[in-house]
Structures are given as C-alpha cells and as structure tokens.
C-alpha cells in the first residue's frame, strides 16, 4: 500500500457506503402546538398542501415540522 493512501477507520465510518446521516434536531413542541397538531391528525392523518401550510404558519413552525 503506497504511503498516504491508507484510509482511516474513522473516514470509512463517516464517508463509507454505510455512513449514517447526521441526526436531525428534534423539535420541542409547546403544549398548545401539540394539541393543535393532534387535533389536525385526528381529522386527517395526511395533512398536506394548503392545510399543512396554513397549520404550520399558524403554529410558527415549518411545513417540514408539520408531518
């Protein structure tokens, strides 16, 4: 193996074929946000489109956070 061409174990873990994606930061929802989100989920398990956008806006959340 030529000098300088060795791949460290750490490099394989970070960039190899089985590398994990960085963990997503969890959103800490307020009690009122949780209540609204739970009610929306009870009505419709798939909140999408304009309803999702409106719900996210009214809760000061991103659309990604309203799943």
Query: What is the reported pTM?
Result: 0.59
Residue-wise pLDDT for 3-43, tens only, equals 555 556 666 556 666 667 777 788 889 999 999 999 999 98
Show the domain range for 58. 27-66
- Domain-located, residue 44: yes
Q: Which residue has the tokens 């999408």?
A: 48
* Number of domains present in the structure of the chain: 1
DSSP string, 7-63: --HHHHHHHSTTPPPPPPPPP---HHHHHHHHHHHHH-S---HHHHHHHHHHTT--G
- Domain-located, residue 17: no
- Domain-located, residue 22: no
Give the pLDDT of residue 67: 75
Closest by CA position to 61, among listed 20, 29, 19: 29
- Domain-located, residue 54: yes
**Which CATH number does the domain housing residue 62 bear?**
1.10.10.60
């Amino acid at each position: 193996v030529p000098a300088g061409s060795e791949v460290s174990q750490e490099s394989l873990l970070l960039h190899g074929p089985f590398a994990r994606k960085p963990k997503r930061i969890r959103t800490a929802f307020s009690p009122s946000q949780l209540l609204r989100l739970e009610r929306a989920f009870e009505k419709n398990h798939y909140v999408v489109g304009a309803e999702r956008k409106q719900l996210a806006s009214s809760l000061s959340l991103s659309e990604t956070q309203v799943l």
